[in-house]
Amino acid sequence: MKKLSNLITIVMIAVTMLQCKKSEATNPATDNSAKTSQKHSEEKENHKHDEKDDLKYVSKEIKVTGDVVTPLTLTVDSLKKMKVVELNDFKIVCQTGLTKDSVESTKGVLLTDILEKAKIAQQEHKDRNFYIVARASDDYKATFSWAELFNNPTGEKVYVLFEQNGKPLKEKGEMILVSMTDTKTGPRHVKWLKSIEVTRVK
Ligand SMILES: Nc1nc2c(c(=O)[nH]1)N[C@H]1C(S)=C(S)[C@@H](COP(=O)(O)O)O[C@H]1N2
Ligand SMILES: [Mo]
């Protein structure tokens, strides 16, 4: 009887060990590295920009649309009439870790000031679940949540820029959105910004 129970224990240990091996083979952490490096090389490819294409994407207006009380159409001139902030020493770092640009000085307006002007259509105190998409004319986009902008330090450093090193933005713009406190600033750096879309979560 003791022998039989010993045998059962040994068989159970063996089965458990086999299962561990199997899950290791399909563990996403092991085969992810290949995917990540593939992604990185794809991203490098995506960074190849034709200068002519850049000018084709230039947008002269930003539409503020969606769940807002007052939809807006903004231009560099209308941004200049708002509260303009000058910012210094800012780097655009790609998801890959590559520094794409170093900006000495730039001027812009807080995204929260723009959204306060358009007024998000909050119906009552707890109506706070909105997401805000900053979209470019090449359909590149960055997404923010209401809480991230209005109830978090991140929102104090999200700007729509219109000037760089004393000159108006041209090839990249005329307006760019940046989220300066992001770990990597490249992903939510939106060139050729053409709309800011507010949507209530359904
Ligand atoms: N409209 C638009 N904005 C964009 C991109 C893009 O393809 N289109 N690329 C992003 C990426 S991946 C990075 S790292 C930064 C800087 O990229 P750049 O050096 O190609 O300008 O811009 C971001 N903003
Ligand atoms: Mo990037």
Instruction: Among 191, 192, 194, 195, name the best residue to mutate to test ligand 1's pocket (greatest count of ligand atoms within 8 A of Cβ).
Output: 191
With beta carbons less than 8 A apart as the criterion, state whether 88 and 80 touch.
no
Decide if pLDDT at 45 tops 70.
no
Report pLDDT for 146.
Answer: 98
pLDDT band with cut points at 50, 70 and 90 for residue 54: confident
Instruction: Say which range, 10-24, 53-67, 83-97, 132-146, has the weakest mean pLDDT.
Output: 10-24
Residue 180 alpha carbon to ligand 2 centre in Å: 15
Residue 78 alpha carbon to ligand 1 centre in Å: 25
Q: Which CATH superfamily is domain 59-200 in?
A: Oxidoreductase, molybdopterin-binding domain (3.90.420.10)
pLDDT tens, 104-135? 999 999 999 999 999 999 999 999 999 999 99
Residue 192 CA, closest ligand 1 atom number: 1
* Percent of the chain at pLDDT exceeding 90: 68
Instruction: Please give the Cα distance from 181 to 190 (Å, whole number).
Output: 15
Residue 166 alpha carbon to ligand 1 centre in Å: 22
pLDDT tens, 174-201? 999 999 999 999 999 999 999 999 999 9
Question: Greater confidence, 149 or 33?
Answer: 149
Report pLDDT for 55.
Answer: 85
Q: Hey, whose CA ends up nearest to atom 21 of ligand 1?
A: 100
Please, which residues have CB within 8 angstroms of residue 164's CB and are 6 or more apart in sequence? 103, 105, 106
| Strand extents, DSSP E, 83-185 | 85-93, 99-110, 130-136, 141-145, 158-164, 167-168, 176-179
Question: Greater confidence, 173 or 43?
Answer: 173
Residue 15 alpha carbon to ligand 2 centre in Å: 46
What residues flank ligand 1, with Cβ below 6 Å?
47, 49, 92, 94, 100-101, 136, 138, 140, 186, 189-192
